[in-house]
């Protein structure tokens, strides 16, 4: 199996903003990601499953080169996210509600602009735009301002633009969060299609059913650490995913649910 993603000892600590801990009296720093190591292989969907605040988004932001780890490293297609960011950026598509598109532009223009920034050949970009717009039903809206589109259409446009450069590796933070059911279905179907095309995907979620539906392998993230790392099949051999998760959660945190 070809290793597309290799994560080794990834650690990231945040200083908490001053205002917060004044009233909360909490710790000054939060270890969001704690010595994380795992790998993802070509053509699979890897799921990072964890509760809120587990460090999923932080991990994915490091992989997307948006932030730097304090220590450790990750390689995507053999390129380091720490020292070869530009190479990594060419190979990845990052999807998250954190990244926005400008309201004033049309989907058509946004696609052209971003494929331009990725240095995609014009004619290749045009044919890719044509087929993606058709597939997601964006065609009829391609000359309307992004800001005037419906939420569902906006999300589809954001998805299409983020994969304008046909990335090898796709990073998806909470794929179905905030999507209406129809759009969510379109997105999950598309992720499976991408996998069939040999793309590698890492996604984060707190929704068990999504993992069960999509993922080949799963890392269960609790308090910045991997509590389990296995195939979906092995994790759900004895009990269902939800029960497995809560058992682990109680063991790691000592909390009784």
Partner 1 sequence: MKNVLLIIKKEFNRFFKDRRMILMLFLPGLLIFCLYSLIGTVMEKAAPTIPEGYKPTVYFCRLPDGFLSENDLKLLEGKDFETLEEAKSNVAEGTLDIVVEFQANFTAAVEGSSRPEVKVYYNSSVQTSIVGYTLATGILSGHNAFTVNSTPTEKFDLVDEDEQVTNIFAMVIPLLMFSLLASSCISVAPEAIAGEKERGTMATMLITPVKRIEIVLGKILSLSCYAMLSGIISFLGVILSLPKLSGGLLNLGAVSYGVGTYFMLFGLIISIVLVMISAFSVLSTLAKNVKEATAFIGPLMLVIILLGMSSMFFTNPSVGLYAIPFIGSGIAMSAVLSTTASALGVVLAILSNLVLTALLVVLMGFMFKKENIMLKK
Ligand X SMILES: Nc1ncnc2c1ncn2[C@@H]1O[C@H](COP(=O)(O)OP(=O)(O)O)[C@@H](O)[C@H]1O
> Binding residues for partner 1, per CB under 8 A?
64-68, 86-87, 89-90, 92, 94, 98-102, 104-105, 109, 113-114, 116-119
Does 54 bind ligand X (CB under 6 A)? Our answer is yes
Residue 49 binds ligand X (CB under 6 A): no
Name the binder of 24 from Mg ion, partner 1, ligand X, none, CB < 5-8 A by kind. none
Least distance to ligand X from the beta carbon of 150, Å?
A: 26
Nearest Cα to Cα of residue 43 among 212, 211, 234, 194 = 194
Which residues inside 43-62 make contact with Mg ion, applying CB under 5 A? 57
Site string for ligand X, 113-142 (x = CB under 6 A): ------------------------------
Q: How far is the CB of 170 from partner 1 (least distance, A)?
A: 12
**Residue 57 binds ligand X (CB under 6 A):** yes
The three-point CA angle 161-155-97 to 5° equals 90
Alpha carbons within 13 angstroms on the beta-carbon side of residue 113 total 9
* Residue 225 to residue 237: CA distance in whole angstroms: 23
Determine phi and psi for 69, rounding to 5 degrees: -75, 155
Question: Cα(113)–Cα(179) distance, rounded to whole angstroms?
Answer: 25
**Residues 207 and 52 sit within 8 Å (Cβ to Cβ):** no
How many residues lie near ligand X (CB under 6 A)?
Answer: 12
239 binds, options Mg ion, partner 1, ligand X, none, Cβ within 5 to 8 A by partner type: none
**With binding defined as CB under 6 A, does residue 47 bind ligand X?**
no
Q: In terms of CB distance, is 85 or 230 closer to partner 1?
A: 85
Binding-site ranges for Mg ion (CB under 5 A)? 57
Binding-site ranges for ligand X (CB under 6 A)? 14, 16, 30, 32, 50, 52-58
């Amino acid at each position: 199996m070809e290793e597309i993603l290799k994560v080794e000892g990834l650690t990231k600590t945040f200083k908490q903003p001053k205002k917060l801990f004044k009233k909360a009296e909490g710790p000054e720093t939060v270890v969001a990601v704690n010595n994380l190591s795992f790998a993802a292989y070509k053509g699979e969907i890897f799921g990072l499953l964890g509760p809120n605040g587990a460090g999923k988004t932080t991990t994915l932001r490091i992989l997307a080169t948006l932030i730097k780890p304090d220590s450790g490293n990750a390689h995507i297609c053999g390129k380091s996210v720490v020292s070869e960011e530009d190479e990594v950026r060419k190979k990845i598509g990052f999807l998250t509600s954190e990244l926005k598109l400008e309201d004033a532009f049309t989907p058509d223009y946004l696609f052209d602009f971003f494929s331009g920034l990725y240095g995609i050949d014009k004619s290749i970009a045009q044919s890719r735009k044509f087929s993606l717009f058709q597939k997601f039903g964006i065609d009829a809206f391609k000359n309307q301002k992004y800001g005037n589109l419906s939420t569902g259409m906006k999300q589809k446009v954001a998805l299409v633009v983020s994969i304008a450069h046909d990335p090898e590796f796709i990073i998806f933070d909470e794929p179905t969060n905030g999507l209406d059911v129809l759009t969510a279905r379109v997105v999950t179907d598309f992720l499976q299609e991408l996998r069939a095309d040999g793309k590698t995907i890492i996604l984060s979620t707190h929704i068990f059913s999504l993992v069960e539906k999509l993922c080949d392998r799963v890392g269960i993230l609790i308090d910045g650490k991997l509590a389990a790392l296995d195939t979906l099949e092995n994790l759900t051999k004895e009990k269902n995913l939800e029960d497995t998760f809560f058992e682990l959660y109680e063991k790691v945190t000592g909390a009784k649910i």
